[in-house]
Structures are given as C-alpha cells and as structure tokens.
Structure 1
Amino acid sequence: MALDEATAQFLKQLGEAGSSPLHEMTPAAARTMYTQLHSLSGQGPPMARAEDVTIASEDGASFPARVLTPTTAPRGVVVYYHGGGWTVGGIDDVDAVGRQLAERTNCTVVLVGYRLAPEHRFPAAPSDAYAALCWAGAALPGQPIVVAGDSAGGNLSTVVARRARDDGGPAIDLQVLIYPATDCDLDRASYHDPANQLLLDRHAMVWFWDHYVPDPAQRADPDASPLRAVDLSGLPPAVLVLPEHDVLSEEGEAYAERLRQAGVPVRLQRADGQMHAFFPLVGVLPGSAAALARVAESIDAALRVRSARGHV
C-alpha cells in the first residue's frame, strides 16, 4: 500500500520548504527542525494538573519530566519516552500527544526528558529512563504502570521493562512499543527499501547511532540493541505499533517474534499507509489519531484486566 494522501502531502510540503537532510545537520540544527515539525501538532487538551519536575539519575545528574494529570482520579500511570534517535526531541515536542493520551486513558502521563547524545552518550539515556520509571513508581504509588515510547523511546521502553524485571523495579502492566529501534544492524532489507526512505532513512539512522553509541562494539549491548538480549521471558505484555513504511520495520517484527517465543503476550498493530515518526503528529496526520485511539484502547484493556484481578 502506498503512503496515505495526508502523509504524501505532508512530505511534499516539507520538500518544498527545502530543508537539508537530517544527516547533514548539526545536532543543534536537527533539534530545531524537530521542534518546528512537532509544533504543527498544536496544543493538546487541558489537564487537571500539569507539573514540571526534575528527576535525579543514577550517576548524580538530573533531567526534566512533565507530569500530566487529566482528572482528580486517574486510573494509572503512563511513563512516556519520546523519539528522536536519542539525539533530538524533548518533553515539549510530545506534550500534545501526551495530553491526548492522558485524556483518552484517564492516566497520568509522565513525559521523560532523558539526556541526549552526543553531549550525553549511551548509557545516559537508559539510565535516565529507568530512573524516571522508579520515580513514577515512588511518586505515584499504588497505580498500574504502563511504559510507552516511539522510536528511540520505544527502545528505552524495552530496556526499562527488562531492567525492572531483573532488578525488582516497579511492576509494569504493559509496554507500548511504537516503531521501536531494537537493533544496530543497519543492513536489513527494510533499511534499503526505497519505499522506506522518507522522514527517517538509513542515512539518518547511521547519523543517530554515530552520535549515540559511536563505538560499534558497544552497540551490541542489549541496553542499546534490545533484540540482542539473551532472555526476554517474564516481561510485561507488549503492544507494538509498526507503520508500513519504516526502515525499522524488520527489527520491530523480529522483536515481536522474540517476545512471542519467550511467552510474552504480544499484540501487533499495523499502521497501513503510515511512515516512521507519524505517531506524535496529532492534528497533522489522521493516521496518528487512529493509532493513538488503538493504543488508548490497548491501555484501557490492560487496566481492566488488572482491575478484574483485584489489584486496583
């Protein structure tokens, strides 16, 4: 299936604007471009409370987070990690989609502003991601927890889910992995498919990895490439959202299959006609709204299962 009409028109407008390819930009320029792109989503719905906090990481550094509480009686917590190749992006860029998710699920959404490469290379991002999960578990006790993220944020969601299992961290009821980066192999067929060279292409992924984990040997670490983890058993149920046109599509499929083989319940949501990076573009791409609705339904179903078991 070809790209849907809205996405094709969106990419045409970006092309007419004449911006440079991401891999030719400096990190500072790429961050400005990323913010401008996501500002098109506008403002999300009002919250009962929106609070910016600072969280301490494991190495003594700190990073920002935003706590979006939709009502006076939220039913759970979604810890959300933004995309951007571990190099660009921040909590402001996903504020609109975070608010939408909070409103649709009646869950408090914690947007995590983990430290970015190349100023803070691997393993700063996964360390911050896990610190944010632990903070949420302590600051918002007694509520079911969902970890979620898109692209690099999906990668971090897998990492914190596995670490929570291994280190006795906060219990996670669901992991929502939206076109996650799961492996450092950039020569899968999906990376070379001409139909996938869109907003994110192979050149951009090379650029991201070079900034995030410049040592090729270190990229095989499961905290960088979760697909290479030896044991994926005992992890929370997973929802994977995979767009049709994405250089990461094969590693997403492979990770879903590894989870299934390990006995983890997996629900795969395919987004026909969509491209990588579509999810946070609420108000811009209709496909984003449709995927957001499906994700919200999956979170609602997970919370209802937990409630039926008498945990809430």
Structure 2
Amino acid sequence: MGIQKLIVRALLQLPDGALVAMSGGKPLTIDGRTLDARAQFLAVQGAKAPSIVTLDPVTARAATAEGLKLLDGTPSRNVLVETMTVPGADGPLDARLYTPRNAGGPLPGLVFFHFGGCVIGDLDTCDTFCSMLAEKGECVVLSVAYRLAPEHKFPAAAEDAIAVYRYARDNAETLGMTRRIAVGGDSAGGYLSAVVAQETRRTGEETPVLQLLIYPVTDMEWQGGSWESCENVYPLTREIMEWFIGHYLNDRGDAKDLRASPLKAGDLEGLCPAIVITAGFDVLRDQGIAYARRLQEADVNTTYRCYDNLPHAFTAMTGAVPAAKRACEEIARDVRRILHTF
C-alpha cells in the first residue's frame, strides 16, 4: 500500500466529528439528507484538486484512475479472475471474467459495464465491486471495457454493450454461465444496461433476466431537482456531467435518441426485472428515481433503493467508506435474490 493511500486510510479512521470539523465544520445537508462524514471529507479534499473538465480525456483517465486507487477496497480472494477479450460491435474489447472459486458448475451471469460517463474508466474502475458481485451475488461476472468517447462517439458504447450481452448470452456455457444472464453497471454503466434491456425487447430477442441500474444516467437532457441541488457535490458535479455528455454525444440532438436517454421511451412494459439504485448526494439522483417510477408504473418488477447518505461513485469507495461497502454488499445480495429465483 502506497504512502498516500496509508495517509488517506489513517485520516478516515478519525471519528465522524473530527472529519466533519476538517470538512467545513458542520455536516453537509442537502434536500433533507446528511452526507456520510467520510464521504464529506473526501468531497472536500476532491474539490481542492483540478477538475477533470480542465484536462483532456486521456489525462483525465489517468488522473481519476490514480484517485480511485486510494478509495477502493481489496478484491475478494474467493473469486477467480480471468483476463480475456470479447467481440464488441466493431472489434475485440478487453474484459475480465469473475468466477466464484466454489462454483461447482455453471452459475447465472452478469455482464457489467463500468462508470465514467462513457469517457473515462476501465476494467480497474469497478474491479473490487465486480469481485463482490461475483462472490456475494453467486454469479459469474463479465466486466467489459467498452469503447470510450471522444475517440468513439455515441452510439459506440451502446452498440458495444448490446454486442457483448449477445455474445455472453450465446456463449454462456463457454463462460461458465447458465442462460440466466443479467446486465448491470453504475452511472454510465447503468445507462448502458438500461439501453440493452430496451433494445433487446424492441428487437424481440431473448432479453436479460435482470437490469442492475446503479445511479444511472437516464436522460441526457435532464434539468431541475438534484441536477441543481447537488450540482457541486464531489465526485460528480453538474459541470463534470455536462463535460461527459459533451464528449460523448455528436451533438445535442443525440440526447433525444432512446439509446442516449432511455427515460424518453414511451413504453417500458415487458422489460426485465430491475434493481435501481440511487445515491442521495448525486446530480443523477432524480433521473434515477424517475426511471424507477416509470418501470413500476409499467408493472416491471422493480427493486428501488436510495442510499441517502452516500455520493455518486460509492461503488468505488468500499475501502474508504464503510457505508459504501455495506451498500455494495446489499446490492450484491439483491442480485443473488433475483438471479437465483426461478
């Protein structure tokens, strides 16, 4: 463990009161919610660093990767990890396959897409969380490094997500999966999972058995609510979200496409069961809530939870914020409940 990581971890062992005192002197409260003390400390520290909007995407990827290393937990030793490539929509993509060591045969599968606004992020971004999903969700997880913008603009990431789901579905036995295959992800990955669920239903093909949508982007034209009240909350400010959208879309007209804004779909009936997760301190919170409500109104089997005291990207904070680790474990148990219910 590096010295910087040791220092961060040591500071986060301080009592809540001390961390709040070092973070402005009073708890951060927005929309009737109070941010976890450790998350508040990290938010204040993160706000001191140059925003990624001042960087080019390649530099931003390297900077955020280094920052995430300070916060993430340790992947489970009870999970085997295999590096591989899988076919995307326009060529091979790097991927990792997570298989519980005690698997006595094929298990349900989960195709996972990492967060990062379709601009940053890689297979390391959600490495620990994927191992947690495999172990506690009792499933085989295929994590995919889909193409990123601005090198690959919309709809490249969405097309890759659909292609990889089809590959996993059609090659389940080779991957150690049963035919019960889910899609899931956080933030951009949640958005991509919603698109896969909608597109496979639209084409009349075999759809996922579950869509795991963790603080998903559902409408790239969203305004109001948490988009404003949480606009300056680390690590995803409104300015950063707009930077992502600007790099991802070819132009603002793309935001009206259902493959960019799945919330705009007129009919959600017949979609696969969903787990929708939001974070209380997140510019994306209210559009995630809106999508969960639309699913419920369409009689889609939907589990919804908001972790009121956590910020965006808490899936990458399991080594630094105990509340984030507990939330991730609960999400993994939700996945297990649905994937193992026949």
Tell me the equivalent position of 1:52: 83
Residue 42 of structure 1: how far off its partner (Å): 4.4
RMSD: 1.7
Equivalent residue number for residue 282 of structure 1: 318
The alpha-carbon deviation at position 57 of structure 1 amounts to: 2.3
Q: Give the stretch that moved more between structures: 162-171 or 255-264.
A: 162-171
Q: Is the 8 A contact 1:38 1:94 kept in 2?
A: no
**1:48 Cα shift?**
5.1
Q: Could you tell me which residue of structure 1 aligns to residue 100 of structure 2? A: 70
> How many residues were matched structurally?
303
**CA drift at 1:280:** 2.4
Q: Give 1:66's aligned amino acid.
A: R
| Aligned partner of residue 264 in structure 1, secondary structure | coil
1:69 alignment partner AA: T
Cα distance in 1 for residues equivalent to 2:237 and 2:171 = 39
> If the length of structure 1 is used for normalisation, what is the TM-score?
0.92
**Residues 1:145 and 2:181 aligned together:** yes
Distance in structure 2 (CA, Å) of the matches to 1:171 and 1:182: 19
**Code of the aligned partner of 1:46:** R
Measure the CA separation in 1 of the matches of 2:118 and 2:268: 23
Q: Please report the TM-score for the alignment, with normalisation by the length of structure 2.
A: 0.84
1:6 CA drift (Å) = 1.2
1:148–1:128 CA distance, 2 compared to 1 (3 A): same
1:35 aligns with 2:71: no
Cα distance change of structure 1 residues 272 and 194 upon mapping to structure 2, 3 Å threshold? closer
Find out whether 1:20 has 2:47 as its counterpart.
no
In 2: Cα distance, 1:21 partner to 1:48 partner: 35
Q: Report the equivalent of 1:310.
A: none
User: Residue 237 of structure 2 aligns with which residue?
Assistant: 201
| Whole-angstrom CA distance in 2 between matches of 1:47 and 1:63 | 26
Q: CA deviation at 1:243?
A: 0.8
Higher gyration radius (CA) = 2
* Identity among equivalent pairs (%): 36
What is the CA-CA distance between 1:148 and the residue it aligns to?
1.0
2:79–2:135 CA contact under 8 A, matched in 1:
no
For 2:145 and 2:321, the matched residues in 1 are separated by 24
Distance apart, 1:138 and its partner CA: 2.1
Counterparts in 2 of 1:81-100, with a 5 A limit?
A: 81-100=113-132
Name the amino acid aligned to 2:59.
A
> What CA deviation, in whole Å up to 9, does each residue of 1:267-296 have, x standing for no partner?
111102111111222212222212212212
After superposition, the C-alpha distances for 1:84-120 in whole angstroms (9 at most, x for unaligned) are 0000001122111111111112211110100000000
Relative distance call for 1:196 and 1:145 in structure 2 (3 A) is farther
Q: Quick one: distance in 2 between partners of 1:42 and 1:219?
A: 35
Where in structure 2 are the equivalents of 1:1-16 lying within 5 Å? 1-15=33-47
Distance apart, 1:146 and its partner CA = 1.7
Q: Is the 8 A contact 1:46 1:70 kept in 2?
A: no
Contact 2:132 2:329 in 1 (8 A): no
Match of 1:303 in 2: 339
- Provide Cα deviations, 1:111-165, integer angstroms capped at 9, x if missing partner: 0100000000111101110111111112224331121110000000000011221
Preserved contact between residue 230 and residue 237 of structure 2 (Cα < 8 Å): no
Given candidates 179, 196, 208, the residue that maps to 2:215 is: 179
Residue in 2 aligned with 1:231?
267
Q: What does residue 216 of structure 1 align with?
A: 252
Distance 1:135 1:34 in 2: 30
Stretches of structure 2 that go unaligned for 5 or more consecutive residues are: 1-32
User: Of 83, 95, 113, which aligns to 2:145?
Assistant: 113
Report the Cα distance in structure 1 between the residues aligned to 2:323 and 2:257, rounded to whole angstroms: 33
| Structure 1 counterpart of 2:286, from 250, 256, 271 | 250
CA distances 1:235-267 after superposition (whole Å, capped 9, x unpaired): 111111111111111111111111112111111
Unaligned 5+ residue runs, structure 1?
307-312
Q: Does 1:292 align with 2:331?
A: no
CA drift of 1:38 comes to 2.1
Q: Higher mean Cα deviation, 76-85 or 65-74?
A: 65-74
Code of the residue aligned with 1:229 in structure 2: it is A
**Which shifted more, 151-160 or 188-197?**
188-197
Q: CA deviation at 1:25?
A: 1.6
In the TM superposition, 1:123-134 aligns within 5 A as: 123-134=155-166
Q: 1:304 to 1:54 in 2, by over 3 A?
A: closer
CA distance in structure 2 between the aligned counterparts of 1:43 and 1:301, rounded to whole angstroms: 24
Cα distance change of structure 1 residues 195 and 114 upon mapping to structure 2, 3 Å threshold: closer
Give how far 1:194 is off. Answer: 4.8
For 1:192 and 1:241, locate their aligned partners in 2 and report how far apart those are by CA, in whole Å.
20
